[in-house]
Chain A
């Protein structure tokens, strides 16, 4: 079965500094990878995805992610963090159910805290 791991429960960064939220994956075949963000008391919002092509994927709100096949990683990055980026971030991988339909398998989430 496909899975993703987010090794850090929390990441702290100062505003203006670069940020990285880590994700590693375990899949059979080519991975379809996603990042979502959840602000307090809200649902998940899609940030970006990797399907194929360039290893550096650009998404919403200035975020990008780097797909690294040799390290089986898909880390989320932003060059300059904002206080408003403070939220819960989820990495996910597409899995195909035994009935042929697709679902997402989520990591446990990483809380990002950006201090002023």
Chain B
């Protein structure tokens, strides 16, 4: 079974700090995603990566960056955390090209609070 692991379940940081959220998947999936989840807004895609060192900005990339140095690991970076980045962050992975309509597999999320 696919396992997507996010390193922290809860995180509290201060305004202006550089914050790293880590995600690891164990199924050799090419595609990985970072979402943020806010009440009433559903999930919004921040960044997407389709291979090592390859990334694409998506719907709400401002204030974020990502790193994918190894296939299994996808990191989300808050360059200078702000209170409006307080949210639940979800990582997901997806195999590429093997089957249309494959579901994405999600980690348990990191609930991040910026004080």
Contact = CB atoms under 8 A, between A and B. Distances in A.
Given A41-B111, A43-B90, A44-B90, A90 B43 contact: yes
A8 B50 CA distance: 34
Interface residues of B, number: 28
A93 to B, nearest CB: 11
B104 A101 contact: no
Contacts of A101: 31, 48, 50, 56, 96
Contacts of B4: 43
B41 to A, nearest CB: 6
Interface residues of A, number: 24
Nearest to B101: A51
A32 to B, nearest CB: 5
B48 A97 contact: yes
Interface of A: 9, 32, 34, 36, 41-46, 49, 51, 90, 94, 97, 99, 101-104, 106-109
